[in-house]
């Protein structure tokens, strides 16, 4: 049995849901796991591992009207770090000395990676972000500024991992030696759902565009019923039913829908591919990772990439649902066991 410290970026839930599956799998294999996270990541992981989560200060991205705000993000994080980082590093150091891990896994959490380097601990990276720096990914044309800023951020966020384990639905050659490309990891509840093809669409707002503009497109579209999540309201407007946040209901609706309208986050795209759900994707502006995801979903024929949602766009999308669905017949399935094997290969 190994003692594994698992650090998880807390901004958003994609990192935490991946850590949920991986951490549970490691525990099932007899290892001891302690999580470190922040913000929403801490809250989510404590729901599932109440006695195994330490809370620290974490960095976050600012959004406005569906755009990632680079300058605001840097300024706010720098101000917060000036006040809280010394205490956070001290807390991480104390946790590492007390827990004495055999291995640190970091899912895009930088402070633990830097402290592991200072203390001489064995550590690896497990995320999807390093696909953009460690693999030869086909880049969508016209986004070079977003690409450059994202590449620099990821490349210098942390460095020196014993190995970079990269989970992704995109198949790309690895061009950085200590890196391994692996299948996506899905949250445990996904595997308990059976996929069927219903007569409705699912819409998920996330941080997409102007909420009012997206709502207008959904409500003026005439066609299939829509079950909408993440809009901050509940009730019915015409054929659109706005539903409250519920993981159980969302996954049930996702597994049974005909297609999905959403932003292009890695976790949701992976779940859509698992259920073979055609996607109409609106990447968050300047979120290059999402732009790449949407580009490759469209390239593989599994959906469409748009920058602005209109009722006509939804109508066009629904006309091609069968074609998009069949394009996913050869998709790479999620494989948690392969990811767990790759982690255990890095244990001392």
pLDDT tens digit sequence for 277-315: 999 999 988 899 999 999 999 999 999 999 999 999 999
Residues 282 and 40: their CA atoms lie apart, in Å, by: 23
Q: Please say if the pLDDT value at position 153 is more than 60.
A: yes
- Give pLDDT, residue 285: 86
With beta carbons less than 8 A apart as the criterion, state whether 289 and 271 touch. no
Tokens of 288: 């290059």
Residue reference for tokens 């200072």? 118
Give just the sign of the alpha carbon dihedral 345, 331, 130, 79: negative
Prediction pTM value: 0.93
Question: DSSP label at 189?
Answer: G
Q: What is the pLDDT of residues 215-248, one digit of tens each?
A: 999 999 999 999 999 999 999 999 999 999 999 9
Residue (of 32, 272, 295) closest to 139 by Cα position: 295
CATH fold for the domain made of 3-184+334-344: Rossmann fold (3.40.50)
Query: What stretch(es) of the chain map to CATH 3.40.50.2000?
Result: 3-184+334-344, 189-327
pLDDT band at 46 (very low <50, low <70, confident <90, very high): very high
Could you identify the residue written with the tokens 């297609």? 259
Inform me whether the pLDDT recorded for 78 exceeds 60: no
Q: What are phi and psi of 104, to 5 degrees?
A: -105, 130
H-state helical runs in the chain = 14-28, 39-48, 70-99, 110-119, 131-134, 144-157, 211-220, 247-256, 266-275, 288-299, 311-319, 321-327, 336-344
Rounded average pLDDT over 129-158: 95
User: Does CATH number 3.30.1330.30 belong to domain 189-327?
Assistant: no
Average pLDDT, the chain: 93
Is residue 192 scored above 70 in pLDDT? Answer: yes
Q: Are 57 and 92 in contact (CB under 8 A)?
A: no
Strand partners, 151: none
């Amino acid at each position: 049995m190994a003692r594994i410290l698992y650090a998880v970026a807390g901004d958003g839930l994609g990192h935490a849901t991946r850590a949920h599956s991986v951490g549970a799998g490691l525990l099932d294999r007899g290892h001891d796991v302690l999580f470190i996270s922040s913000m929403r990541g801490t809250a989510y992981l404590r729901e599932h591992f109440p006695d195994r989560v330490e809370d620290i200060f974490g960095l976050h991205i600012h959004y406005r009207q569906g755009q990632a705000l680079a300058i605001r993000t840097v300024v706010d994080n720098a101000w917060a770090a000036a006040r809280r980082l010394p205490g956070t590093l001290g807390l991480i150091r104390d946790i590492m000395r007390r827990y004495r891990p055999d291995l640190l896994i970091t899912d895009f959490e930088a402070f633990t990676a830097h402290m592991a380097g200072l203390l001489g601990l064995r550590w690896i990276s497990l995320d999807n972000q390093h696909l953009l720096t460690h693999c030869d990914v086909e880049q969508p044309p016209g986004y070079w500024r977003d690409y450059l800023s994202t590449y620099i951020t990821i490349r210098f966020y942390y460095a020196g991992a014993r190995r970079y384990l990269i989970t992704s639905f995109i198949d790309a050659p690895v061009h950085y030696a200590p890196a391994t490309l692996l299948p996506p990891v899905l949250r445990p509840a996904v595997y308990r759902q059976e996929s069927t093809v219903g007569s409705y669409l699912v819409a998920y707002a996330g941080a997409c565009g102007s909420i009012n503009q997206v709502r207008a497109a959904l409500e003026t579209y005439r066609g299939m019923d829509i079950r909408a999540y993440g809009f901050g309201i509940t009730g019915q407007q015409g054929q659109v039913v706005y539903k409250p946040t519920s993981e159980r209901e969302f996954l049930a609706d996702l597994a049974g829908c005909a297609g999905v309208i959403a932003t292009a986050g890695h976790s949701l795209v992976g779940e859509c591919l698992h259920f073979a759900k055609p996607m109409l994707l609106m990447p968050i502006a300047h979120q290059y990772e999402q732009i790449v995801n949407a580009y490759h979903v469209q390239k593989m024929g599994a959906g469409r990439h748009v920058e602005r949602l209109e009722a006509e766009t939804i109508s066009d999308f629904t006309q091609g649902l069968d074609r998009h669905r069949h394009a996913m017949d050869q998709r790479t399935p999620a494989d948690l066991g392969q990811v767990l094997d790759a982690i255990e290969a890095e244990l001392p």
